[in-house]
Structure 1
Amino acid sequence: MRLQILRLLRLLTLGVVLAGLLSGCGYNTFQTGDEAIKSAWSEVLNQYQRRADLVPNLVGTVKGYASHEKDVLTQVTQARAQVGAIQATPELVNDPAAFAKFQQAQAGLSSALSRLLVVTENYPQLKADAGFRDLQAQLEGTENRITVARNRYIKAVEIYNVSVRSFPNNLTAMIFGYTVKPNFSVDNEKAISTAPKVDFAAPAPATPPAARPAPAGPGSPAASY
């Protein structure tokens, strides 16, 4: 009985020492950072999904006024389909190749939506449509939320990656298999956020107003009664 108690005390002591070592070497920091990344990533996905849900109604509304802009409408629909084809699981944030593919698909949808909004500038009746204005406002609000969510995710990953690379945390990371996580790249953010130029055919010349007769002056035939 006494021997069993001594073994139990040794195990408890070893557990306390091990817990202290893990805490001091960054193990708990990794857990906190990983949960922060998961939370931030969920919000990123939530806002991207919100944008994707707006696309069908937006395309349908534009089509009602600009049905002949088939190329632009098709590009938006295809870009949304590519986004939907990617399984945005929590594991995606640990796979640099999958993360890059996800980012590329979202950038493609951003670019296609930019082209669509450029086209709508040429249709005053569409811009005056209350439904379109509401969708446009929702899209703009969602884009702002995406920016905020992405920035939070970028910051969370930055803090986590610094922990993984710093000594002596990096030793714990190697033992337990923690590695740096991929992050959003900002190299092409400016190109994505800038609406592309769209060349349209030269507009038809305006119809000149009908000629009006010159006002009758003194001595003109029209002035004689």
Structure 2
Amino acid sequence: MSFANALLMQCAMRNRHGTAIFRHSKPSSFVIWVDMKNIVRRLMGLFMVMVLLSLGACGYKKFENDSAQLKTTGAELLIEYQRRTAVVTNLLNLLKAQQDFDQPKWTAVMNARDKAMAIDAVPDLLNDAQKLEKYQQAQSDVTSAVTQLLAVSESNAELRANPTFIDVQAQLASVDNRIQITSERYVKVVQDYNTAVQTFPSNITAYVLGYKERPYFTVDVPSPDRPK
């Protein structure tokens, strides 16, 4: 019997006993590495799904909604203050055209207005506590100065009968009312948002996603004795 025939017979005998080397060879280390890599990927994907579900349960959607409301309401508030600046400018121009007006109080309004206008009223202003405080103080000074100027102007019979003056007064009252309403809405959203940032378990979501407390806004309400 040749050597080749003897080798074939030996392989056949091993096959009958289930030990043939060709059928039962072990997988290579490369195949094992690929399989482990796929398993790790699947586990990571499952982990990310669980994390997202956990974040959703801990207030992720609320933070998204509150952030959107803060952005929208904050922009509306800044726009209302810009509208008031335009009305105050109309008031100053109207009174300047009069022969008899209170120069010191007129100048006080003009200075307060210019100081407020010098502050760059961009949406990011509402996220900076120091800038926001400075802006609120400037707007409060405008409110106070305008109130005093209107009180003096009301004593002028000619102005009281002037349709343009009456219209400017109405515009000021309207814009101040919108400022108050919008401010109260904004303050409410800030309070809800900050409470979520501070309270467990939503504070975990805030920490992970980088949500931080927002500075509070003080509602600027004109004096009830202000002429309308």
> TM-score, normalised on structure 1?
0.77
* 1:164–1:170 contact (8 Å) kept in structure 2: yes
Larger deviation: 74-83 or 26-35? Answer: 26-35
1:73, distance to aligned residue in structure 2 (A): 1.0
**1:79 is aligned to 2:109:** no
State the one-letter code of the partner of 2:182.
Answer: A
1:15-41 CA deviation, whole Å, 9 max, x = no partner? 211211211222332121111111111
Match of 2:223 among 177, 189, 193: 193
Counterpart for residue 125 of structure 2? 92
Q: Which residue of 2 aligns with 1:60?
A: 93
Identity, % of aligned positions: 35
Give the CA deviation at 1:179. Answer: 2.2
Corresponding residue for 2:177? 144
Tell me, in whole angstroms, the C-alpha distance in 2 between the residues paired with 1:40 and 1:150: 8
1:193 is paired with a residue whose SS is coil
Q: Secondary structure of the equivalent of 1:47? A: helix
1:195 shift after superposition: 5.2
Q: Which amino acid in the other structure matches residue 168 of structure 1?
A: P
CA distance in 2, matches of 1:194, 1:177: 42
CA contact (8 A) 1:83 1:105 kept: yes
- Aligned-pair RMSD on alpha carbons? 2.2
Partner of 2:158: 125
- Equivalent residues of 1:111, 1:195 under 8 A apart: no
1:101 paired residue among 134, 141, 148: 134
Secondary structure of 1:16's match?
helix
The whole-number CA distance in structure 2 between the counterparts of 1:25 and 1:83 is 40
- Supply the AA of the counterpart residue of 1:21: S
Counterpart of 1:28 (choices 54, 58, 61) is 61
Shift of 1:68: 4.6
Amino acid at match of 1:47: E
In the alignment of these two chains, the number of paired residues is: 193
Segments of 5+ residues of structure 2 without an aligned counterpart are 1-30
> Residue 157 of structure 1 contacts residue 183 of structure 1 at CA under 8 Å; is this kept in 2?
yes
Deviations 1:144-170 (A, max 9, x none): 111110010011111101111111112
Residues 1:163 and 2:200 aligned together: no
Question: 2:102: which partner in 1?
Answer: 69
Deviates more, 1:115-124 or 1:61-70: 61-70
Deviation at 1:88, TM superposition (A): 1.9
- Is 1:181 paired with 2:177? no
Match of 2:70 in 1: 37
Task: State the alpha-carbon separation in 1 of the partners of residues 142 and 89 from structure 2.
Answer: 13
Distance 1:66 1:27, change over 3 A: farther
Q: Secondary structure at the match of 1:181?
A: coil
Distance (Å, rounded) in 2 between the aligned partners of 1:172 and 1:13: 19
Ranges in structure 1 where 5+ consecutive residues have no aligned partner: 197-225
Letter in 1 for 2:116: V
Q: Which has the higher contact order (CA 8 A, sep 6+)?
A: 1
Deviations 1:45-75 (A, max 9, x none): 1111110011121111112225552111111
Shift of 1:78: 1.0
**Contact 1:121–1:127 at 8 Å: present in 2 too?**
yes
Other structure's SS at 2:121 match: coil
Q: Which residue of 1 aligns with 2:26?
A: none
Considering only CA atoms, is the larger Rg found in Structure 1 or Structure 2?
2
- Normalised to the residue count of structure 2, the TM-score between the two structures is 0.77
